[in-house]
């Protein structure tokens, strides 16, 4: 479209065309013709290409009419305000590239003079607005004070605005000012309530609820931690500086256990709460999270693995896991984390692939029960191997045999008479322990003899039924 638009203009093929008017008509027609019972919706936002074409066409028109750059962007702003849809904000921010230095200065001066008046007040106080970003680009280039003021006044809405100011304060060694900026930035980043604080010595940033809810640690978070570490080191806050060193390692190399453990070995004792938090994080990322469950009943074997890795003592890992697997009260059948924890352990200790070869169905089902993040598998399994975890394979197999019935879903709890899961698991048990398989089916033939769909699901997999049925 852009190439065609330039040709239309250069060859004067449609001198009366107003791209703005065409865009406005399109906004009005979005959703037209829908039945009355469908509620009208916002037209949304025009894409980058459409917006860029409209902006360029209207700038050509403005130049032909002798309209200056400042009046041009005023027209665009009023036009956008009148639309039922927004223009692409990245294209608005990129307007700066259309103007020469003189026009850029004029636009900046005009925006600065009218930033608290309509139609600019709302968009120049909203950091996500393309107009705000346009203003910031111009101010950063032509007026550092305006730039700094805009950053400082809007940190509460966007913590990243503190970053360039922190760079300047660090360069000038204005640490007291930097601390104030850091406090405001951290409060904005974590959306802290009045009176609420965050201490980098008390818990990991990667596990903070706000960071988790917003997709995890981003480069801007890392930059803020790095600036904070420099300030803390400069003013002698060694415990805070040490904690921030660890925060940075975890933020950037979270699943690199060698790197994280090395960082903790060089950390001060005041950072110990961070280790407990990272160990819990390693477990959660390995076997999944379930905040509503009683974690006191789950096998915390990943915790033991991390402790053993830190201490360099395999017994810290092997002995408690063996005790749990040998406990006759142990049970993997509970939903959620406990089942995932056992399944993850079973797959991890199958280093030689024996379970996968001998019992492919059971191996596939156990793999499916795992709820953790796959990116954690490699490093965790390397540590399982380093600490002799493959020796636990026989214990895991014995556990599966002892608790075969608990592993198989109860047909009585099936939803909608769908017994496919029951059939798959009983097929897996047949691969592992034919005697346990026969025992379970014999019990089902009494307790669930009227569940025709169950027996049909078993027959479809050519599973032999007890003769007593």
* Residue 27 pLDDT greater than 70, yes or no: no
Q: What single-letter DSSP state applies at residue 45?
A: B
Kindly report the average pLDDT of the chain as a whole number: 88
Give the confidence band of 43 by pLDDT, cuts at 50, 70, 90. Answer: very low
Distance CA 259, CA 358 (A): 36
Lowest average pLDDT, out of 27-41, 78-92, 187-201, 290-304, goes to 27-41
Angle, CA of 2, 8 and 14, to the nearest 5°: 130
Number of H helices, E strands in the chain: 26, 0
Residue 106 pLDDT greater than 60, yes or no: yes
Predicted confidence at residue 67, as pLDDT, reads: 92
Model confidence pLDDT, tens digit, residues 80-91: 888 867 789 999
Q: What is the pLDDT of residue 88?
A: 92
Q: Where does the pLDDT of residue 110 fall: very low under 50, low under 70, confident under 90, or very high at 90 and above?
A: very high
What pLDDT score does 468 carry?
44
Tell whether the model's pLDDT for residue 28 goes beyond 60. Answer: no
Cβ–Cβ under 8 Å, residues 325 and 392: yes
| pLDDT band with cut points at 50, 70 and 90 for residue 195 | confident
Contacts of 85 (CB under 8 A, 6+ apart): 27, 30, 42, 43, 44, 45, 46
What digits encode the pLDDT tens for the residues 245-301?
Answer: 999 999 999 999 999 999 999 998 889 999 999 999 999 999 987 543 344 545 689
Peptide bond into 160 cis (omega under 30): no
Residue with tokens 């050509």: 60
Contacts of 383 (CB under 8 A, 6+ apart): 257, 305, 309, 389
Instruction: Dig out the tokens for 79 from the structure.
Output: 């036009």
Statement: residue 334 has pLDDT above 60: no
Q: Is the per-residue pLDDT at 25 higher than 70?
A: no
**pLDDT score at 291:** 43
Highest mean pLDDT among 56-70, 167-181, 326-340: 167-181
Burial 211-223 (b: 16+ CB within 10 A, else e): beeeeebeeebee
Report pLDDT for 270: 86
Share of the chain above pLDDT 90, in %: 71
Going by C-beta distance under 8 Å and a sequence separation of 6 or more, which residues neighbour residue 97?
Answer: none
Q: How is residue 303 written in tokens? A: 């915790």
pLDDT band at 38 (very low <50, low <70, confident <90, very high): low
Counting Cβ atoms within 10 Å, is residue 22 exposed (0-12), middle (13-18) or buried (19+)?
middle
Residue 59 has pLDDT above 60, yes or no: yes
CA angle 204, 207, 212 (to 5 degrees): 145
Is residue 42 scored above 50 in pLDDT? no
Q: Which residues contact 103 (CB under 8 A, 6 or more apart)?
A: 68, 69, 70
Does residue 209 register a pLDDT over 70?
Answer: yes
Mean pLDDT of 312-322: 96
Q: pLDDT-derived band of residue 60, with 50, 70 and 90 as boundaries? A: confident
d(CA 347, CA 400): 12
Q: Sorting pLDDT into bands at 50, 70 and 90, what band is 467?
A: low
Give start and end residues of each alpha helix (H) in 66-129.
69-82, 89-93, 101-114
Kindly state the percentage of the chain with pLDDT values over 70.
85
Residue 6's pLDDT band (boundaries 50, 70, 90)? low
Question: Which has more pLDDT, 74 or 47?
Answer: 74
Closest CA to 23 of 107, 68, 85, 69: 85
Angle at 232 between CA 231 and CA 234, to 5 degrees: 65
pLDDT value at position 40?
A: 45
Q: For 457-466, what is the mean pLDDT? A: 85
Q: What is the DSSP letter of 294?
A: -
Burial label, 353 (beta-carbon count in 10 A; 0-12, 13-18, 19+): exposed
For residue 335, the model assigns a pLDDT of 52
Secondary structure in 3-state letters for 323-360: HHHHCCCCCCCCCCHHHHHHHHHHHHCCCCCHHHHHCH
pLDDT at position 9 is: 52
pTM, to two decimals? 0.83
């Amino acid at each position: 479209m852009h190439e065609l638009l330039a040709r239309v203009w250069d060859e004067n093929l449609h001198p009366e065309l107003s791209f703005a008017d065409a865009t406005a008509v399109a906004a009005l027609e979005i959703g037209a013709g829908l039945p009355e019972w469908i509620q009208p919706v916002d037209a949304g936002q025009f894409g980058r290409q459409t917006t860029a074409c409209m902006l360029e066409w209207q700038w050509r028109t403005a130049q032909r009419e002798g309209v200056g750059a400042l009046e041009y962007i005023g027209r665009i702003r009023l036009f956008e305000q009148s639309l039922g849809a927004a223009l692409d904000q990245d294209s608005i921010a990129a307007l700066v590239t259309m103007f020469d230095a003189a026009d850029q200065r004029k636009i900046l001066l005009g925006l600065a003079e009218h930033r608290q008046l309509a139609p600019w007040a709302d968009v120049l106080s909203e950091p996500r607005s393309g107009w705000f970003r346009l203003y910031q680009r111009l101010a950063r280039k032509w007026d550092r004070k305006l730039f700094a003021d805009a950053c400082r006044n809007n940190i509460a809405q966007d913590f990243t605005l503190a970053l360039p100011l922190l760079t300047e304060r660090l360069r000038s060694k204005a640490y007291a000012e930097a601390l104030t900026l850091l406090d405001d930035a951290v409060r904005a980043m974590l959306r802290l309530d009045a009176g609420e604080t965050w201490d980098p010595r008390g818990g990991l940033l990667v596990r903070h609820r706000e960071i988790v809810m917003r997709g995890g640690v981003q480069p801007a978070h890392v930059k803020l931690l790095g600036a904070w570490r420099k300030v803390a080191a400069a003013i002698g806050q060694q415990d805070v500086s040490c904690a921030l060193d660890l925060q940075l390692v975890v933020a950037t190399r979270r699943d690199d256990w060698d790197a994280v453990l090395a960082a903790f070995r060089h950390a001060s004792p005041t950072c110990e709460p961070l280790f407990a938090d990272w160990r819990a994080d390693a477990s959660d990322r390995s076997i999944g999270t379930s905040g509503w469950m009683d974690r006191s009943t789950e096998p915390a074997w990943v915790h033991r693995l991390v402790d053993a890795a830190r201490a360099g003592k395999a017994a810290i890992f092997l002995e408690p896991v063996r005790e749990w697997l040998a406990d006759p009260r142990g049970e993997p059948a509970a939903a959620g984390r406990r089942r995932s924890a056992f399944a993850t352990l079973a797959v991890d200790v199958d280093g030689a692939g024996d379970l996968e070869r001998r019992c492919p169905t059971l191996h596939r089902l156990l793999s499916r029960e795992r709820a953790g993040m796959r990116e954690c598998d490699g490093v965790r399994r390397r540590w399982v191997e380093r600490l002799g975890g493959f020796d636990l394979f026989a214990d895991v197999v014995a556990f599966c045999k002892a608790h075969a019935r608990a592993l198989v879903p109860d047909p009585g709890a099936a939803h909608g008479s769908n017994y496919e899961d029951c059939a798959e698991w009983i097929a897996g048990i047949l691969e592992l322990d034919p005697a346990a398989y026969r025992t379970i089916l014999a019990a089902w033939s009494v307790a669930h003899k009227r569940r025709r769909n169950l027996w049909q699901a078993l027959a479809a997999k050519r599973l032999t039924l007890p003769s007593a049925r």
